[in-house]
Amino acid sequence: MYRKCITCFLLTGMTILSSWLCVRELKIDRISAKPAFRMEYLDETMEEDKHSFVEMIESVSSGQRIVSYEVLEQTKKYQLSDKDYDTLLRIVEAEAGGEDQDGKLLVANVVLNRVNNELFPNTVWDVVMQREQGIAQFSPTVDGRFQNVHVSGDTVEAVERALYGEDISQGALYFCAREKADSDRLKWFDRKLTRLFSYGNHEFFL
């Protein structure tokens, strides 16, 4: 009789232990199955990005190899030589050193617009140093400002914006500061060119 009781006690203990192990294993499996990432989105317009991200996480968690991906990297539209880059910095500073960054960007845009136009030389240096009938296209190249200017960090940022393709010039190929320009030259601007807009101390023409 004692042997029968002991046997029943052992069988009951083994049953309880087995049940406990099964429950513990189930909990471990449930924890393992939980997502590794949790993201909260504040804007409904981000749902598409959320869907793409969830798909990527599912692929990773499933052990699949992600063999294709896209890297979005902003690249420069203009690749200049060191000489042309330095020339662009100097002429922008000389012509628009007292302007805000957009005013400087506009001067850089005009220079680059000329480089891209078949009526003008095809390098920044040649555009800036160009003369028509002995008259310099950019006055700082003859009055010493171009050679002696100190390029500011703001000018560097404006030029970089232009080199990355930002253009707010509406295609302008000319600009002038009316208050400082020669009267005969102003007459030529007004007679021969199309005025686009003014910004800061400059007027821009096509």
For every one of its 206 residues, what pLDDT tens digit does the chain have, with 9 covering 90 and above? 545 555 555 556 656 555 555 545 545 444 444 444 344 444 555 555 555 555 554 544 555 554 444 445 679 999 999 999 999 999 999 999 999 999 999 999 999 999 999 999 999 999 999 999 889 999 999 999 999 999 999 999 999 999 999 999 999 999 999 988 788 888 999 999 999 999 999 999 99
Domain ranges of the chain: 2-61, 82-205
pTM of the model: 0.66
SS3 183: helix
Could you tell me if 168 and 146 are in contact, meaning their C-beta atoms sit under 8 angstroms apart? Answer: no
- Cα–Cα distance, 132 to 206 (Å, whole number): 17
Which CATH fold topology does 82-205 show?
Arc Repressor Mutant, subunit A (1.10.10)
| Strand partners for 204 | 175, 197
- Cα–Cα distance, 66 to 78 (Å, whole number): 34
Angle at 175 between CA 174 and CA 179, to 5 degrees: 145
Supply φ then ψ for residue 44, to 5 degrees: -65, -25
What share of residues in the chain are helix, strand, coil (percent, to 5)? 55, 10, 35
Output DSSP code: residue 69: -
